[in-house]
């Protein structure tokens, strides 16, 4: 294995490993491989009888994989987890880790268009094989569609003003790069809070381009089927939309947060929360890795015998 720490510093590594409660002969999944930092740490705790499966749709992440008989890399979105486990001949696993959001590498590769630092084409695709880009969204979506994106995924209060600025500017064909977008919406941003505002706009576009909320919902709804009783689900999120979905699923067994019951009135609750409140990064870690500041880690255990 080749260590590439510069690609992405794994957030709350020790907390994630503790949450998984790794047994050397167990089968584990890292559904957001990225730079492989979390995966490498999990793999090092496994015996030759254990097994690790890593998922990532970003072709850049595949460059960080290694060769081992008990390691599999699956180049696809984690929304398809159960199908690919079936192809690998795996029925149930002992633990699943998901580190949601954008990796440091994706932010630092300015040409990918994820970052508000530097000029780049408005791409934002995690999987370069999909056709839709952020530029596509900005130039082809209707006013109502754009309002949905920025209200739902960016939680932007003045979304109507933002969308009007985009529509007025795109008529001149001048929203093709990240800097052009920021210039077009500059007057919409609250004074002295421009950085945060632009970050919210970029977040909303990225979520829409990569269909992140639907992918997360699909993934979470498959975890009950994939995990063994007693297996651990460890999920780290970086914004309230993701965290709300994860919390509802772990706490109540549904993405919506609605408690479901069987015919006899028994609560259908596939998981038990191990921590009632999300774990956050320590002050020491924040000093070394500022990108951990918004991370929230939740852990749950699969119910059943």
Strands 296-302 and 271-273: antiparallel
Q: What pLDDT is attached to residue 235? A: 98
Q: What pLDDT is attached to residue 260? A: 82
CATH superfamily of 13-104+212-302: Vaccinia Virus protein VP39 (3.40.50.150)
List the domain boundaries for the chain: 13-104+212-302, 115-210
Q: What pLDDT is attached to residue 172? A: 84
- pLDDT tens sequence for the chain (305 residues): 444 444 568 999 999 999 999 999 999 999 999 999 999 999 999 999 999 999 999 888 899 999 999 999 999 999 999 999 999 999 999 999 999 977 555 555 656 666 777 788 999 998 888 889 999 999 999 999 999 999 999 999 999 999 999 999 998 877 999 999 999 999 999 999 999 999 999 999 999 999 999 999 999 999 999 999 999 999 999 999 999 999 999 999 889 888 888 888 787 889 999 998 999 999 999 998 888 899 999 999 999 87
CATH 1.10.150.170 fits 115-210, yes or no: yes
What 3-state class would DSSP assign to 107? helix
- Asked if the domains 13-104+212-302 and 115-210 are classified in one and the same CATH topology, the answer is no
Q: What pLDDT is attached to residue 267? A: 78
Q: With contact defined as beta carbons under 8 Å apart, do 211 and 80 qualify? A: no
Q: With contact defined as beta carbons under 8 Å apart, do 274 and 221 qualify? A: no
Task: Return the closest-CA partner of residue 92 out of 233, 214, 215, 218.
Answer: 233
pTM given for the model? 0.90
Q: What pLDDT is attached to residue 5? A: 43
Q: How far apart are CA 297 and CA 37, in angstroms?
A: 16
Question: Residue 72's beta-bridge partner residues?
Answer: 53
């Amino acid at each position: 294995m080749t260590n590439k720490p510069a690609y992405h510093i794994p957030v709350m590594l020790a907390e994630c490993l503790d949450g998984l409660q790794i047994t050397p002969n167990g089968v584990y999944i890292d559904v957001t491989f990225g730079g492989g930092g979390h995966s490498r740490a999990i793999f090092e705790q496994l015996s030759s009888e254990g097994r690790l499966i890593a998922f990532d749709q970003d072709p850049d992440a595949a460059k960080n994989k290694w060769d081992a008989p008990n390691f599999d890399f699956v180049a696809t979105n984690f929304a398809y987890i159960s199908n690919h486990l079936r192809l690998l001949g795996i029925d149930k696993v002992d633990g699943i880790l998901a580190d949601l959001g954008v990796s440091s590498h994706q932010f630092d590769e300015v040409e990918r268009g994820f970052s508000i630092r530097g000029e780049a084409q408005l791409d934002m695709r995690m999987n370069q094989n999909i056709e839709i880009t952020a530029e596509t969204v900005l130039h082809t979506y209707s006013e109502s569609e754009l309002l949905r994106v920025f209200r739902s995924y960016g939680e932007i209060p003045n979304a109507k003003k933002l969308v009007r600025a985009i529509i007025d500017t795109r008529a001149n064909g001048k929203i093709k790069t990240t800097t052009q977008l920021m210039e077009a919406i500059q007057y919409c941003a609250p004074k002295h809070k421009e950085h945060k505002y632009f970050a919210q706009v970029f977040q909303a576009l990225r979520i829409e381009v990569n269909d992140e909320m639907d992918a997360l919902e699909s993934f979470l709804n498959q975890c009950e089927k994939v995990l063994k009783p007693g297996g651990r689900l460890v999920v780290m999120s970086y914004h309230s939309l993701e965290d709300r979905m994860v919390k509802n699923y772990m706490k109540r067994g549904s993405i919506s947060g609605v408690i479901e019951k069987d015919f006899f009135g028994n609560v259908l609750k596939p998981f038990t929360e191990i921590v009632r409140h999300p774990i956050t990064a320590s002050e020491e870690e924040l000093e070394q890795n500022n990108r951990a500041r918004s991370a929230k880690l939740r852990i749950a255990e699969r119910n059943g015998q």
